A and B are shown apart, each in its own frame.
Chain A
Protein backbone atom coordinates (compact mmCIF):
# COMPACT_ATOMS: atom_id res chain seq x y z
CA UNK A 1 0.00 0.00 0.00
CA UNK A 2 1.55 3.28 -1.11
CA UNK A 3 1.94 5.83 1.62
CA UNK A 4 0.23 9.14 0.90
CA UNK A 5 2.16 12.40 0.61
CA UNK A 6 -1.02 14.28 1.41
CA UNK A 7 0.18 14.98 5.00
CA UNK A 8 2.58 17.67 3.71
CA UNK A 9 -0.18 19.50 1.84
CA UNK A 10 -2.57 18.98 4.74
CA UNK A 11 -0.06 20.57 7.18
CA UNK A 12 0.18 23.67 4.98
CA UNK A 13 -3.62 23.67 4.62
CA UNK A 14 -4.01 23.38 8.40
CA UNK A 15 -1.47 26.13 9.06
CA UNK A 16 -3.25 28.41 6.58
CA UNK A 17 -6.63 27.64 8.14
CA UNK A 18 -5.36 28.40 11.62
CA UNK A 19 -3.86 31.71 10.52
CA UNK A 20 -7.00 32.62 8.57
CA UNK A 21 -9.11 32.02 11.67
CA UNK A 22 -6.72 33.84 14.00
CA UNK A 23 -5.61 36.78 11.91
CA UNK A 24 -8.07 37.01 9.05
CA UNK A 25 -10.91 38.91 10.78
CA UNK A 26 -8.48 41.19 12.67
CA UNK A 27 -6.55 42.05 9.49
CA UNK A 28 -9.75 42.80 7.59
CA UNK A 29 -11.09 44.88 10.47
CA UNK A 30 -7.87 46.89 10.83
CA UNK A 31 -6.58 47.36 7.29
CA UNK A 32 -9.91 47.17 5.48
CA UNK A 33 -12.24 49.10 7.80
CA UNK A 34 -10.55 50.97 10.67
CA UNK A 35 -7.61 52.47 8.73
CA UNK A 36 -9.79 53.83 5.86
CA UNK A 37 -12.43 55.21 8.29
CA UNK A 38 -9.72 56.90 10.32
CA UNK A 39 -8.07 58.23 7.17
CA UNK A 40 -11.38 59.77 6.07
CA UNK A 41 -11.48 61.66 9.35
CA UNK A 42 -7.90 62.82 8.92
CA UNK A 43 -6.34 60.39 11.40
CA UNK A 44 -3.43 58.34 10.14
CA UNK A 45 -3.45 54.94 11.84
CA UNK A 46 -1.10 53.29 9.41
CA UNK A 47 0.59 55.59 6.94
CA UNK A 48 2.65 54.45 3.96
CA UNK A 49 5.95 55.16 5.65
CA UNK A 50 4.97 53.35 8.83
CA UNK A 51 3.74 50.32 6.89
CA UNK A 52 6.88 50.32 4.80
CA UNK A 53 9.10 50.45 7.85
CA UNK A 54 7.15 47.62 9.41
CA UNK A 55 7.31 45.37 6.36
CA UNK A 56 11.04 45.93 5.89
CA UNK A 57 11.63 44.26 9.26
CA UNK A 58 10.74 40.71 10.39
CA UNK A 59 7.05 41.63 9.96
CA UNK A 60 7.66 41.54 6.20
CA UNK A 61 8.68 37.90 6.39
CA UNK A 62 5.65 37.15 8.57
CA UNK A 63 3.37 38.91 6.07
CA UNK A 64 4.74 36.81 3.19
CA UNK A 65 4.29 33.62 5.25
CA UNK A 66 0.71 34.55 6.16
CA UNK A 67 -0.23 35.39 2.57
CA UNK A 68 1.37 32.19 1.23
CA UNK A 69 -0.23 29.91 3.81
CA UNK A 70 -3.66 31.48 3.34
CA UNK A 71 -3.32 30.93 -0.39
CA UNK A 72 -2.25 27.32 0.24
CA UNK A 73 -5.32 26.83 2.39
CA UNK A 74 -7.54 28.11 -0.41
CA UNK A 75 -5.70 26.05 -3.06
CA UNK A 76 -6.10 22.84 -1.07
CA UNK A 77 -9.75 23.48 -0.44
CA UNK A 78 -10.47 24.36 -4.07
CA UNK A 79 -8.64 21.25 -5.28
CA UNK A 80 -10.65 18.96 -2.98
CA UNK A 81 -13.92 20.76 -3.68
CA UNK A 82 -13.43 20.19 -7.41
CA UNK A 83 -12.94 16.51 -6.63
CA UNK A 84 -16.03 16.45 -4.39
CA UNK A 85 -18.08 18.06 -7.14
CA UNK A 86 -17.14 15.15 -9.37
CA UNK A 87 -14.92 17.23 -11.64
CA UNK A 88 -11.77 15.45 -12.71
CA UNK A 89 -9.28 16.84 -10.20
CA UNK A 90 -6.02 15.25 -11.19
CA UNK A 91 -2.40 16.25 -11.59
CA UNK A 92 -3.25 19.33 -13.66
CA UNK A 93 -5.76 20.87 -11.24
CA UNK A 94 -3.34 20.04 -8.44
CA UNK A 95 -0.55 21.88 -10.24
CA UNK A 96 -2.92 24.76 -11.05
CA UNK A 97 -4.17 25.16 -7.47
CA UNK A 98 -0.90 24.78 -5.58
CA UNK A 99 1.03 26.52 -8.37
CA UNK A 100 -1.23 29.57 -8.01
CA UNK A 101 -0.59 29.57 -4.25
CA UNK A 102 3.18 29.43 -4.78
CA UNK A 103 2.95 32.17 -7.42
CA UNK A 104 0.89 34.35 -5.07
CA UNK A 105 3.43 33.78 -2.31
CA UNK A 106 6.28 34.68 -4.66
CA UNK A 107 4.42 37.83 -5.70
CA UNK A 108 4.03 38.83 -2.03
CA UNK A 109 7.73 38.20 -1.42
CA UNK A 110 8.66 40.27 -4.46
CA UNK A 111 6.39 43.12 -3.32
CA UNK A 112 7.95 43.15 0.16
CA UNK A 113 11.48 43.02 -1.26
CA UNK A 114 10.69 45.87 -3.67
CA UNK A 115 9.74 48.23 -0.81
Chain B
Protein backbone atom coordinates (compact mmCIF):
# COMPACT_ATOMS: atom_id res chain seq x y z
CA UNK B 1 0.00 0.00 0.00
CA UNK B 2 2.12 2.84 -1.30
CA UNK B 3 1.68 6.32 0.12
CA UNK B 4 -0.20 5.08 3.16
CA UNK B 5 -0.21 7.51 6.04
CA UNK B 6 1.15 6.38 9.38
CA UNK B 7 0.86 7.72 12.89
CA UNK B 8 2.52 6.83 16.19
CA UNK B 9 0.36 5.87 19.15
CA UNK B 10 2.05 6.21 22.52
CA UNK B 11 0.05 3.75 24.58
CA UNK B 12 0.32 3.59 28.33
CA UNK B 13 1.18 0.07 29.42
CA UNK B 14 0.96 -1.48 32.87
CA UNK B 15 0.82 -5.11 33.84
CA UNK B 16 0.66 -4.98 37.64
CA UNK B 17 2.14 -8.44 38.10
CA UNK B 18 5.26 -7.52 36.09
CA UNK B 19 5.67 -3.73 35.97
CA UNK B 20 6.77 -1.38 38.73
CA UNK B 21 5.00 1.60 37.21
CA UNK B 22 3.04 2.51 34.07
CA UNK B 23 5.15 3.46 31.03
CA UNK B 24 4.51 4.62 27.47
CA UNK B 25 5.07 2.30 24.54
CA UNK B 26 5.12 3.73 21.01
CA UNK B 27 3.56 1.86 18.08
CA UNK B 28 3.55 3.20 14.52
CA UNK B 29 0.52 2.12 12.53
CA UNK B 30 -1.09 2.91 9.15
CA UNK B 31 -4.35 4.86 9.14
CA UNK B 32 -6.88 6.32 6.73
CA UNK B 33 -9.58 9.01 7.00
CA UNK B 34 -11.97 6.61 8.70
CA UNK B 35 -9.63 4.92 11.18
CA UNK B 36 -10.74 5.39 14.77
CA UNK B 37 -8.36 5.30 17.72
CA UNK B 38 -10.05 2.02 18.70
CA UNK B 39 -9.25 0.53 15.29
CA UNK B 40 -5.68 1.70 15.80
CA UNK B 41 -5.53 -0.18 19.11
CA UNK B 42 -7.04 -3.24 17.44
CA UNK B 43 -4.40 -3.04 14.70
CA UNK B 44 -1.69 -3.05 17.37
CA UNK B 45 -3.22 -6.00 19.22
CA UNK B 46 -3.83 -8.05 16.05
CA UNK B 47 -0.53 -7.39 14.27
CA UNK B 48 2.08 -5.83 16.52
CA UNK B 49 1.60 -6.75 20.17
CA UNK B 50 -1.01 -9.24 21.36
CA UNK B 51 -0.33 -8.38 25.00
CA UNK B 52 -1.94 -4.92 24.75
CA UNK B 53 -5.14 -4.97 26.80
CA UNK B 54 -8.18 -2.73 26.36
CA UNK B 55 -11.96 -2.99 26.56
CA UNK B 56 -14.24 -2.60 23.58
CA UNK B 57 -17.44 -4.00 22.18
CA UNK B 58 -19.83 -2.07 19.92
CA UNK B 59 -17.46 0.23 17.95
CA UNK B 60 -20.25 2.84 17.70
CA UNK B 61 -20.48 4.82 20.96
CA UNK B 62 -23.31 2.74 22.37
CA UNK B 63 -21.69 0.29 24.79
CA UNK B 64 -19.42 2.70 26.69
CA UNK B 65 -16.55 0.21 27.01
CA UNK B 66 -13.64 1.91 25.22
CA UNK B 67 -13.30 5.14 27.21
CA UNK B 68 -9.71 6.28 27.68
CA UNK B 69 -7.60 9.43 27.83
CA UNK B 70 -6.66 10.48 24.31
CA UNK B 71 -4.03 13.24 24.35
CA UNK B 72 -5.09 13.97 27.91
CA UNK B 73 -8.83 14.24 27.29
CA UNK B 74 -11.41 11.64 28.24
CA UNK B 75 -12.95 10.19 25.05
CA UNK B 76 -14.40 7.04 23.58
CA UNK B 77 -11.69 5.43 21.43
CA UNK B 78 -14.34 4.43 18.87
CA UNK B 79 -15.56 8.00 18.50
CA UNK B 80 -12.12 9.61 18.16
CA UNK B 81 -10.44 9.49 14.76
CA UNK B 82 -6.72 9.28 14.14
CA UNK B 83 -6.98 11.88 11.34
CA UNK B 84 -7.75 14.49 14.02
CA UNK B 85 -4.47 13.72 15.83
CA UNK B 86 -2.23 13.58 12.74
CA UNK B 87 0.70 13.90 12.36
CA UNK B 88 0.88 12.65 15.95
CA UNK B 89 2.14 11.15 18.09
CA UNK B 90 -1.12 10.62 19.95
CA UNK B 91 -1.04 9.51 23.54
CA UNK B 92 -3.55 6.91 24.73
CA UNK B 93 -3.85 6.24 28.47
CA UNK B 94 -6.41 4.70 30.81
CA UNK B 95 -9.16 6.95 32.22
CA UNK B 96 -7.92 9.36 34.89
CA UNK B 97 -8.91 8.95 38.55
CA UNK B 98 -9.62 5.22 38.27
CA UNK B 99 -7.38 2.35 39.38
CA UNK B 100 -5.65 0.52 36.52
CA UNK B 101 -6.22 -3.20 36.19
CA UNK B 102 -4.03 -3.70 33.13
CA UNK B 103 -2.91 -1.34 30.33
CA UNK B 104 -6.03 0.66 29.32
CA UNK B 105 -8.45 -1.35 31.46
CA UNK B 106 -9.64 0.44 34.60
CA UNK B 107 -11.36 -0.89 37.69
CA UNK B 108 -15.04 0.16 37.67
CA UNK B 109 -15.90 -1.33 41.08
CA UNK B 110 -16.30 2.01 42.85
CA UNK B 111 -18.70 3.30 40.19
CA UNK B 112 -20.76 0.10 40.15
CA UNK B 113 -21.06 0.10 43.95
CA UNK B 114 -22.27 3.73 43.85
CA UNK B 115 -24.75 2.95 41.09
CA UNK B 116 -26.24 0.22 43.27
CA UNK B 117 -26.28 2.30 46.44
CA UNK B 118 -28.09 5.14 44.66
CA UNK B 119 -30.82 2.74 43.42
CA UNK B 120 -30.72 4.00 39.88
CA UNK B 121 -33.53 1.87 38.61
CA UNK B 122 -37.28 2.31 38.36
CA UNK B 123 -39.04 1.86 41.70
CA UNK B 124 -42.73 1.88 40.74
CA UNK B 125 -45.38 3.38 42.98
CA UNK B 126 -47.76 0.45 42.63
CA UNK B 127 -47.01 -3.23 42.39
CA UNK B 128 -47.23 -4.12 38.73
CA UNK B 129 -46.94 -7.30 36.74
CA UNK B 130 -46.46 -7.69 32.97
CA UNK B 131 -50.17 -8.59 32.86
CA UNK B 132 -50.93 -4.93 33.70
CA UNK B 133 -49.60 -4.01 30.26
CA UNK B 134 -47.35 -1.11 29.30
CA UNK B 135 -46.57 1.47 31.98
CA UNK B 136 -47.66 4.46 29.95
CA UNK B 137 -46.51 8.05 30.08
CA UNK B 138 -46.97 11.06 27.82
CA UNK B 139 -44.21 12.38 25.54
CA UNK B 140 -44.01 15.45 27.82
CA UNK B 141 -43.43 13.26 30.86
CA UNK B 142 -40.73 11.36 28.99
CA UNK B 143 -39.05 14.60 27.90
CA UNK B 144 -38.43 15.44 31.58
CA UNK B 145 -35.78 12.75 31.94
CA UNK B 146 -35.00 11.54 28.42
CA UNK B 147 -31.62 13.30 28.06
CA UNK B 148 -30.38 11.84 31.35
CA UNK B 149 -31.49 8.36 30.23
CA UNK B 150 -28.90 8.42 27.43
CA UNK B 151 -26.04 7.61 29.83
CA UNK B 152 -23.96 4.60 28.75
CA UNK B 153 -21.88 4.35 31.95
CA UNK B 154 -18.64 4.97 30.04
CA UNK B 155 -17.07 6.84 33.00
CA UNK B 156 -15.64 9.66 30.87
CA UNK B 157 -17.31 12.09 33.29
CA UNK B 158 -15.52 10.49 36.25
CA UNK B 159 -12.19 10.93 34.48
CA UNK B 160 -13.15 14.56 33.77
CA UNK B 161 -14.43 15.44 37.25
CA UNK B 162 -11.82 17.22 39.42
CA UNK B 163 -13.91 16.63 42.55
CA UNK B 164 -13.84 12.88 41.98
CA UNK B 165 -10.12 13.11 41.32
CA UNK B 166 -9.56 14.72 44.71
CA UNK B 167 -12.01 12.67 46.70
CA UNK B 168 -13.31 9.33 45.48
CA UNK B 169 -16.07 9.45 48.09
CA UNK B 170 -17.93 11.89 45.79
CA UNK B 171 -20.86 10.04 44.22
CA UNK B 172 -19.92 11.59 40.89
CA UNK B 173 -21.55 12.91 37.71
CA UNK B 174 -23.07 9.84 36.04
CA UNK B 175 -24.64 8.33 39.15
CA UNK B 176 -26.13 11.68 40.25
CA UNK B 177 -27.46 12.30 36.73
CA UNK B 178 -29.05 8.85 36.78
CA UNK B 179 -30.61 9.59 40.16
CA UNK B 180 -32.18 12.63 38.55
CA UNK B 181 -33.21 10.49 35.56
CA UNK B 182 -35.31 8.20 37.80
CA UNK B 183 -36.50 10.90 40.20
CA UNK B 184 -37.94 12.86 37.25
CA UNK B 185 -39.69 9.80 35.79
CA UNK B 186 -43.47 10.04 36.29
CA UNK B 187 -43.63 6.24 36.83
CA UNK B 188 -41.08 6.27 39.62
CA UNK B 189 -41.71 6.52 43.36
CA UNK B 190 -38.19 5.92 44.66
CA UNK B 191 -37.16 9.49 45.49
CA UNK B 192 -37.12 8.76 49.22
CA UNK B 193 -34.84 5.77 48.73
CA UNK B 194 -32.32 7.92 46.85
CA UNK B 195 -32.51 10.97 49.14
CA UNK B 196 -29.65 10.04 51.47
CA UNK B 197 -27.19 9.66 48.59
CA UNK B 198 -28.25 12.97 47.01
CA UNK B 199 -28.28 15.09 50.16
CA UNK B 200 -24.91 13.98 51.54
CA UNK B 201 -21.70 16.01 51.35
CA UNK B 202 -20.64 13.38 48.83
CA UNK B 203 -23.90 13.84 46.87
CA UNK B 204 -24.96 16.91 44.87
CA UNK B 205 -23.09 19.14 47.34
CA UNK B 206 -19.78 17.65 46.30
CA UNK B 207 -20.18 19.34 42.90
CA UNK B 208 -18.87 22.88 42.31
CA UNK B 209 -20.22 23.10 38.75
CA UNK B 210 -16.92 22.93 36.91
CA UNK B 211 -18.91 21.44 34.03
CA UNK B 212 -16.15 19.42 32.35
CA UNK B 213 -18.25 16.25 32.80
CA UNK B 214 -20.88 17.66 30.46
CA UNK B 215 -18.25 18.70 27.92
CA UNK B 216 -16.79 15.22 27.59
CA UNK B 217 -20.07 13.27 27.69
CA UNK B 218 -20.39 11.46 24.34
CA UNK B 219 -24.18 11.19 24.71
CA UNK B 220 -25.09 14.79 25.61
CA UNK B 221 -26.30 13.82 29.09
CA UNK B 222 -25.17 17.06 30.80
CA UNK B 223 -24.57 15.68 34.31
CA UNK B 224 -23.56 19.14 35.58
CA UNK B 225 -27.07 20.40 34.77
CA UNK B 226 -28.70 17.35 36.37
CA UNK B 227 -26.75 17.82 39.60
CA UNK B 228 -27.35 21.54 39.88
CA UNK B 229 -30.99 21.18 38.92
CA UNK B 230 -31.21 18.92 41.95
CA UNK B 231 -29.67 21.34 44.45
CA UNK B 232 -32.85 23.39 45.12
CA UNK B 233 -34.76 20.17 45.89
CA UNK B 234 -31.96 19.16 48.26
CA UNK B 235 -32.28 22.56 49.98
CA UNK B 236 -36.04 21.98 50.35
CA UNK B 237 -35.28 18.55 51.86
CA UNK B 238 -32.85 20.18 54.28
CA UNK B 239 -35.36 22.78 55.44
CA UNK B 240 -38.27 20.33 55.59
CA UNK B 241 -35.99 17.90 57.40
CA UNK B 242 -36.52 19.85 60.59
CA UNK B 243 -40.24 19.05 60.36
CA UNK B 244 -39.95 15.44 59.22
CA UNK B 245 -39.48 12.61 61.73
CA UNK B 246 -36.85 10.89 59.55
CA UNK B 247 -34.92 14.14 59.30
CA UNK B 248 -35.50 14.17 55.55
CA UNK B 249 -32.67 11.73 55.00
CA UNK B 250 -34.76 8.86 53.68
CA UNK B 251 -33.52 5.32 53.82
CA UNK B 252 -29.71 5.23 53.84
The answer to the question of A1 belonging to the interface, with a C-beta cut-off of 8 Å to chain B, is yes
Residue of A nearest to B232 (CB): A14
**Are B239 and A4 in contact (CB-based, < 8 A)?**
no
User: Which residues from chain A contact B237 at a C-beta distance below 8 Å?
Assistant: 7
- Which of A31-39, A49-57, A79-87 participates in binding chain B? A79-87
Contacts of A86 in B (CB 8 A): 162, 166
Task: Please tell me the number of chain A residues within 8 Å of chain B, measured between CB atoms.
Answer: 14
Query: CB-CB contacts of A1-44 with B at 8 A, as 1s and 0s?
Result: 11111111011000000000000000000000000000000000
* Interface assignment of B112: CB less than 8 Å from any CB of chain A: no
Are A80 and B199 in contact (CB-based, < 8 A)? no
| B172 neighbours in A (Cβ, 8 Å) | none
Q: Cβ of B252 < 8 Å from any Cβ of A?
A: yes
Which residues in B have their C-beta under 8 angstroms from that of A8?
A: 238
Given contacts A80-B208, A84-B210, contact A4 B235 (CB under 8 A): no
Q: Across the interface, do A1 and B200 meet the contact criterion of CB distance under 8 Å?
A: yes
Q: What does DSSP make chain A's interface, helix, strand, loop or mixed?
A: helix
- Which residues on A sit within 8 Å (CB–CB) of B208? 80, 83-84
| B205 interface hit (Cβ, 8 Å) | yes
Q: Are B205 and A1 in contact (CB under 8 A)?
A: no
The reply to whether the CB of B76 lies closer than 8 angstroms to some CB of chain A is no
B241 at the A interface (CB under 8 A): yes
Partner among B196, B197, B239, B249 whose Cβ is within 8 Å of the Cβ of A7: B239
* Chain B residues whose CB sits within 8 angstroms of the CB of A4 once the complex forms: 199-201, 203, 205, 234, 238
User: Footprint of A on B, CB under 8 Å?
Assistant: 162, 166, 196-197, 199-203, 205, 208, 210, 231, 234-235, 237-239, 241, 247-249, 252
Q: What is A's interface to B at a CB cutoff of 8 Å?
A: 1-8, 10-11, 80, 83-84, 86
